[in-house]
Amino acid sequence: MRKPVNVSMDAEESLLGKVGRVTVSIPAHGPGEVLLPIRGASEAFAAWSDEPIPRHTRVAVVESLSARSVFVTPFP
């Protein structure tokens, strides 16, 4: 179960909707890792999801959990 964390509005807005790629498979309700495009480069973030997501899957950020942690969903 996700616990809300206070994240600055600027940080949340800059991550919401970003599309990235899973670099470490995300188990159901467990952390994995995604690379997201940030300021012209790619940065790694811890990633959570309600469903397992395999490595190399494209995902979209739907929530910022902390400064370096996001909640994602598969992106078509």
Q: What is d(CA 62, CA 6) in angstroms, rounded to the nearest whole number?
A: 15
What pLDDT sits at residue 14? 85
Q: What is the pTM of this model?
A: 0.81
Element (H, E) at 19: strand 19-24
Of 1-10, 38-47, 60-69, minimum mean pLDDT range: 1-10
Task: Please compute the mean of the pLDDT values over residues 37-48 and round it to a whole number.
Answer: 95
Structural domains of the chain in order of their starting residue, each with its CATH number: 9-74 (2.40.50.140)
Give the DSSP per-residue string, 35-74: EEEETTEEEEEEEE-SS-B-TT-EEEEEEEEETTEEEEEE
